[in-house]
Amino acid sequence: MNPIQKVAIVGGTHGNELTGAYLVKKFEQFPHLVQRSSFNTLTLLGNPRAFKVNRRYTEKDLNRCFLSQDLQNPLLLSYEEQRAKDIDALLRPKNQPPVDIIIDLHSTTANMGLTLILSNNHPFNLQWAAYLTALNPQVKVFRWANPAHDAPFLRSLCPLGGAIEVGAIAQGVLQAELFQQTEALIQSLLDYFEAYNQGGIRQPSPTLTLYQGTETVDYPRRGGEIAAMIHPQLQNRDYEPLHPGDPMFLTFEGKTIVYEGTSTVYPVFINEAAYYEKGIALCLTARQEVTLSEIIS
């Protein structure tokens, strides 16, 4: 892999996720914090209009506007659709080298702690994720179900990088501890990129614990309306095992609905507030141990 020349840090892709937005603002005020000697770091506020009104988006979820066909469609002209095209032009300018790595900063109302969301299976992504988990064992690594498929996320504009997702934190709220933890992750990641460029990279752990997304699960519904809530025994238990027969939902009448799968899974994004509109109550993952030497060789 060639040396890294340009890294993009994006915050506020969702306007009411303030941790990333204000980190970007901090880095814009103090750019030396994210600059390194061997590469340049670009900072970007993803959705300024939504940030100004403290909303996730104004017309359409910006982080669902980056499919290749949508970026090339001149008929898609909502604010977020146009903003996605502008971001694409900035990060992948014509007749100029694109950014090498994108780090998109997000927060969640789910109890996800410090989570790295990988864009794909690229060995370099697995390496830097393993490095960060070795530095901080509380960091978890999540990967969507079809990482090779054309995805609508901002991070999909580049094969290297991903998202940093932190929570639980309410929408439109800043929390100092999560702010500091996210900033520390960014600094460690930039240091890793610098070490890679200078040939002084430290060998990460030989294995990486990876939570591979398998499917999303909607709330039980009746006539299109939600008919049950996340069960109290499941609430806030992101990354903890959910066994067949364990409580999953609780109806308004007090009936427990259990998980009917045939194998143990590890739910994430449990009861995420922003996913109600998307018909997602939680995402199921399979826990995997990835041997880095086999992937890299």
Strand, helix or coil at 5?
coil
- Give the mean pLDDT of the chain: 95
- Is 243 annotated to bind a ligand? Reply is no
182 and 53 inside one domain: yes
Q: Is 140 helix (H, G, I), strand (E, B) or coil?
A: strand
What pTM was estimated for this model as a whole? 0.96
Residues 165 and 246 in one domain: no
Residue 57 annotated in ligand binding: no
The domain in which residue 120 lies consists of 6-205
- pLDDT score at 150: 74
Task: Report the DSSP beta bridge partners of residue 44.
Answer: 10
SS3 call for 239: coil
User: For position 83, which CATH number holds?
Assistant: 3.40.630.10
275 is in an annotated binding site: yes
In a domain, 295, yes or no: no
Same structural domain, 173 and 233: no
Q: Is residue 64, in this structure, part of any structural domain at all?
A: yes
> At 254, which CATH number?
2.20.25.160
Tell whether the model's pLDDT for residue 296 goes beyond 80: no
Which residue in 165, 240, 253, 260 is the catalytic one? Answer: 165
pLDDT at 203 (0 to 100): 65
59 is catalytic: no
Residues 167 and 218 placed together within one structural domain of the fold: no
**Do 28 and 167 fall into the same domain?**
yes
Q: Do 113 and 252 fall within a single domain? A: no
Query: Is residue 33 assigned to a domain?
Result: yes
Residue 287 lies in a domain: no
Report the distance separating Cα 193 and Cα 187, nearest Å.
10
Same domain, 74 and 131: yes
Cβ proximity of 47 and 15 under 8 Å = yes
> Among 182, 205, 228, where does a domain finish?
205
> Domain check: are 114 and 200 in the same one?
yes
Mean pLDDT of 22-39: 98
Rg for the chain (alpha carbons), in Å?
A: 19
Taking the CB of residue 75, how many other CB atoms lie within 10 A of it?
6
Structural domain ending residue among the three candidates 205, 232, 266 = 205
170 and 113, same structural domain? yes
Q: Which of 142, 94, 108, 93 is nearest to 288 (CA)?
A: 142
Q: How many domains does the chain have?
A: 2
Is 122 labelled a binding residue? no
| Predicted pLDDT at 101 | 98
Q: Where are the alpha helices (DSSP H) in 38-159?
A: 48-52, 68-71, 79-91, 123-135
Quick: pLDDT tens for 110-168.
999 999 999 888 999 999 999 999 999 999 999 986 555 678 999 999 999 999 999 99
Read off the pLDDT of residues 203-217 as tens digits, 9 standing for 90 and up.
667 889 999 999 999
91 and 230 belong to one structural domain:
no
142 and 248 in a common domain: no
Q: Binding site annotation covers 106? A: yes
The per-residue pLDDT for range 34-75, each reduced to its tens digit, is: 999 999 999 999 999 999 999 999 999 999 999 999 999 999
pLDDT tens string 231-276: 999 999 999 999 999 999 999 999 999 999 999 999 999 999 999 9
Q: How far apart are CA 55 and CA 47, in angstroms?
A: 10
Q: Is residue 230 part of a domain?
A: yes
pLDDT, position 292 = 87
Of 184, 205, 226, which residue constitutes the final position of a domain? 205
3 state DSSP class of 271 = coil
Residue 64 in marked binding region: yes
Share of residues in the chain with pLDDT > 70 (%): 96
